[in-house]
Amino acid sequence: MDNLLHDLERHLKETLNITVEPKKWEDVDSLPFFLRDSYAFYHVSFLETSCLLMIARDEAEQTPAAIRKHMVQVQAKWDGEVIYLRSSVSAYNRKRLIEQKVPFVVPGNQMYLPMLGIDLREHFKQIRSVAPGKFSPATQTVVLHLLLHGPLNNCTPSRMAKKLGYTVMTMTRAFDELASLGMGEVVTEGRERVLRFNLDKRGLWERSLGFMRSPVKKRVYIRQLKEPWAGVFAGLTALAHYTLLAPPSVPVYAAGPDDWKSMKLLNISELPAPEPQSFELEIWNYSPLLFQEDGVIDRFSLYLSLRDSTDERVQSALEKMMEEVFPEGKSLARPDEKARGR
C-alpha cells in the first residue's frame, strides 16, 4: 500500500508537477464493512479538488461495473470526487472502466479523471508545449547516465526506467525532450522506441551544459547522525577527492529527496552555522546514489553543483577535473567568463 501511494506521489509530480500528501480518511467507519475490507481510503487534494482514493486491497481485479457500484456507495458518504487507484489494470478492464466513467489512476501507466478533464488537458498542454529553459530532473539524469555509462545509441524508455527508477512514461517524455532540442532522434525499432544521438559524449555534454541545472535544491548544516545513512561525499569534499584542492573543515555530503525525507523523520535539527561534529548537507533534485563512485558524487554532477562558485581556486580545480574527463578540447569555463575573455 505504501509503495503504491509513493508511486502515485511520484507519478503526479513527474506528469503534472503536483505534490500531494495522501492521508487516511478519518470517516472510513461510516462505510459498510465489505467496502472497508475491499478497499483502503485516503484523502488527497490537487488541482483545487478534494479527492478520495479508493485503493483495491485484493490482487484480483473486480469488474468495472462492480467498482462503479462501490464508488456510488462511497460517494454517498463523501463530499468530493472518488478515484479508483490500482497498481495495474488489464487493457480490457481499462477500456471498460472508461466506458463506465470510473475515474482511475494506474501510476506510471494511465490517468483517467474525466471530472478534471479540462484542467488536466490544459496542464498537460502547458507542460508539453513550452520549450524548457532547463532540463527536467528526469531528463538530466538520462543525460548523466549516458555520459557516465553509455552507450549513446541503444537507449529505450523501459531500460532507462529500470536503471534510474523512473516510470516508463517519464523516460518517454525525457527522450522526447532531448529529441525536440535536436540532441538526438527517437526511432521505432520493433515495438520499442529507441533514442539515438549524432554526438559523441563530449558533444552531448557541451550541448547539454546550457540546459543543465545544479542538482542542489538547498544546503543545510546538521549535526552528525547517530543512525547510519547512505550519504555520499559532495561539494568541496568531493572536489578535494578528485583534485589537489584542500578539503573543507566541514565535510559535505549529498542526499536525494527520498533520503532527506527519511532523515527528517529522525528529528534532526538544522543549524544556522557549522558547529563541531556537524556537516554540510546538499539536498538534491535526484538521488546522488545513482551516479556515485566509491562513495563520492560523479564528476559531472559535481561540476554542475559548483560551476557558479566565485572562488577562483574552485573554478581552477573544476577545470582541471573536467580536463581529466575530456583530455582534449576546449575549455568548459562558465559562459560569463568566456564573455569576459578570461
- Predicted local distance difference test score (pLDDT) of residue 229: 65
Long-range contacts of 154-163 (CB under 8 A, 24+ apart): 154/194, 155/194, 155/195, 155/196, 156/192, 156/193, 156/194, 156/195, 157/192, 157/193, 158/192
pTM of this prediction exceeds 0.85: no
| Segments in the chain below pLDDT 50 | 118-131, 329-342
CB 221 within 8 A of CB 250: yes
pLDDT in tens, 160-212: 999 998 888 889 889 988 888 888 888 888 777 888 887 889 989 988 998 99
Q: Largest Cα–Cα distance of the chain, in whole Å? A: 74
- Predicted local distance difference test score (pLDDT) of residue 230: 64
- Predicted local distance difference test score (pLDDT) of residue 213: 92
- What is the dotted CATH code of the domain comprising 2-123? 3.40.1350
- Predicted local distance difference test score (pLDDT) of residue 227: 62
So where are the chain's domains? 2-123, 137-211, 216-339
Pick the CATH number of 137-211 from 3.30.70.100, 2.60.120.260, 3.50.50.60, 1.10.10.10: 1.10.10.10
- Predicted local distance difference test score (pLDDT) of residue 341: 37
Q: Give the DSSP letter string of 148-217.
A: HH--SS-B-HHHHHHHHT--HHHHHHHHHHHHHTTS-EEEEETTEEEEE-SS-HHHHHHHHGGG---SEE
